[in-house]
Amino acid sequence: MRADLFPAPAVPRLPFLDRELAFPVHRIYCVGRNFAEHAREMGAPLERGTPVVFLKPADAVHPGGPLPYPPGTTDLHHEVEMVVALGRDADGPLAPGEGQALVCGHGVGLDLTRRDLQAIAKERRLPWDVAKGFDASAPVSALRHVDDGRPGPDTALRLEVNGVLRQEARLGEMVFSVDEVLGHLSRLFRLRAGDLVFMGTPAGVAALRPGDRYRAVLEGVALLEGRVEG
């Protein structure tokens, strides 16, 4: 076997809450427009047809705490989202009802977005990568193992910035369920243990500025908090 020219990059990992276990990250899938009010605030028509999907690099995960303000933007936006973690590979396309069996944990994350660059991309019909897939663009909390508790339709998803509520919804308000999103993804990609899925954000997205304190909660399941650095 050939020797590597340089040490292979380390696999990004997330901790599990209350367990001496880590979750090695394979891919990060993100769903857009999964709450009707947020689709409306972005001026997008709500389509029940198929979920909007994009990806972030696995090493965009960030553990929270001090968060770097990214270069290339003057309009960094927060999108608080439930994050679903897959602990098993899918054999192929999933039938309805099969998705939940792959899920090993849940967390709360921020789908950080360079909104100014996304607006340009939308206007010019360009890819979203520079708006969505930058370094540390995917802060995710420690994960709650499914055997220690699962969120339900009444579970609240919430983001406070500097102690003021910015975003709040119940998971039951999602347009596409976890099962439907995993089914859709499984028909487009090979789902693997280590995949994370950001499930979409409720209304109330707005700017995060240097010095802001953020506190994202998936009620009774997960907590992500810290401060945006200058």
Report in angstroms how near the CB of residue 81 gets to Mn ion at its nearest: 6
**Contact between 201 and Mn ion (CB under 5 A)?**
yes
Report in angstroms how near the CB of residue 19 gets to Mn ion at its nearest: 28
* Cα radius of gyration (the chain): 17
Cα–Cα distance, 136 to 42 (Å, whole number): 23
Cα–Cα distance, 216 to 160 (Å, whole number): 6
SS3 state of residue 197: strand
**Span of 12-20, 83-91, 151-159, 201-209 interacting with Mn ion by CB under 5 A:** 201-209
Nearer of residues 145 and 184 to Mn ion, judged by Cβ: 184
Kind and range of the H or E run holding 214: strand 213-218
Closest chain position to Mn ion (CB): 111
**Contact between 195 and Mn ion (CB under 5 A)?**
no
**Span of 108-116, 173-181, 186-194, 220-228 interacting with Mn ion by CB under 5 A:** 108-116
Report in angstroms how near the CB of residue 125 gets to Mn ion at its nearest: 19
Report in angstroms how near the CB of residue 126 gets to Mn ion at its nearest: 18
**Contact between 110 and Mn ion (CB under 5 A)?**
no
**E strand segments, 112-212:** 113-114, 138-139, 144-145, 156-161, 164-170, 196-198, 206-207
- Residues between 46 and 85 with contacts to Mn ion, criterion CB under 5 A: 79
Alpha helices in 33-189 (DSSP H): 36-41, 115-124, 129-132, 178-186
Positions that interact with Mn ion (CB under 5 A): 79, 111, 201
